[in-house]
Amino acid sequence: MLYEPKGFDWYYVLSGQGEYFTPEFKSHLSEGKYIPEEGYATARAAWEAAYGPRNRAFLESNLEGEELLEWKFQRYVRDYLRCIRSVDDSVGEILEYVDSHGLADNTIIVYTSDQGFYMGEHGWFDKRFMYEESFRTPLIIRYPGGRGGLVSNAFVQNLDFAPTYLDVAGVDKPEEMSGRSLLPVIKHNGKQQCKWRRYMYYHYYDLPSEHNVLKHDGVADKCFKLIHFYGGENGDYDEFYDLRKDPDEMHNCISERRYARRVRRLRKQLDKFREELGVDEY
């Protein structure tokens, strides 16, 4: 049985046309017409022309239950993969240009992305939770003279990007800038030959908002993760995961006595991050 994740609504699965899915707009679609809108751009018109017939066909099918959920999932995932394919094609064009114009020996290429989406994992949709699916962000770096295919397990954050670029350019990092240069990791072919961060801190606090994700902060090391949710109707609560035994984070071990010492350690580290960063709400 398919489970419909929270937030898997019409606006997203109908490719931006969900805002028009009123009874009036449905009748216009069924008649092959579009509701005029002031300032319609050519690009928008092309978008409507591509998706309008598909959406009309969907409306005429009157799907319900499992068939409806299957349609929504397939529509969203297929469009998502098409978007990724277009990005991959564009990256290939950039790499080809750099190589063919003799720029590869003095060009650093950084390929990263936004956080990953949930497609029903944990019963959620979106990307704002501290669970692994969105806590991890893709990062690929091609550095002149580096060995290809190497993977680093260093804790890297996007706030390290700017210090890295400044370091490459021979510019000192401003004191107020967080993060640190990744060059020590890059130049040692992904191996940690220097003292690096042991913990990662995370904090999400945009509530109330359309995403409806409960406020939470947390800390993780390579083996364990502690998440503190707060500000909800049912009060605050914690989750603790053993990432070695439970990489999908399906079993909350916060109340298990065998993890008590590790929970205390991560709570102490979480309080340290809060103090260092001046976090006054958690």
* Mean pLDDT across 28-45: 56
pLDDT higher than 80, residue 26: no
Burial of 176 (C-beta count, 10 Å sphere; 0-12/13-18/19+): exposed
What pLDDT digit, counting tens, does each position of 90-104 carry? Answer: 999 999 999 999 999
How far is residue 209's CA from residue 244's CA, in Å, rounded to a whole number?
A: 34
17-55: b (≥16 Cβ within 10 Å) or e: beebeeeebeebbeeeebeeeeeeeeeeeeebeebbeeb
pTM: 0.76
| Block residue for tokens 């060059």 | 183
* Mean pLDDT across 138-157: 86
Q: Which residues pair with 204 in a beta bridge?
A: 216
Closest CA relative to residue 164, chosen from 147, 128, 136, 139: 139
Tokens linked to 183 = 């060059």
Q: According to CATH, what is the number of the domain 198-282?
A: 3.30.1120.10
The residue extents of the domains of the chain are 10-82, 198-282
Crossing angle for the helix pair 65-100 and 42-61, to the nearest 10 degrees? 150
Higher pLDDT, 230 or 72: 230
Rounded to the nearest 5 degrees, what angle is found at the Cα of 22, between the Cα atoms of 19 and 25?
95
What pLDDT digit, counting tens, does each position of 44-82 carry? Answer: 677 778 888 888 888 888 888 899 888 888 888 888 888
Confidence of residue 20 (pLDDT cuts 50, 70, 90): very low
What pLDDT digit, counting tens, does each position of 171-191 carry? Answer: 999 998 989 999 988 887 555
How far is residue 30's CA from residue 36's CA, in Å, rounded to a whole number?
A: 15
Q: CA distances (Å), 14 to each of 208, 213, 251, in order?
A: 25, 23, 34
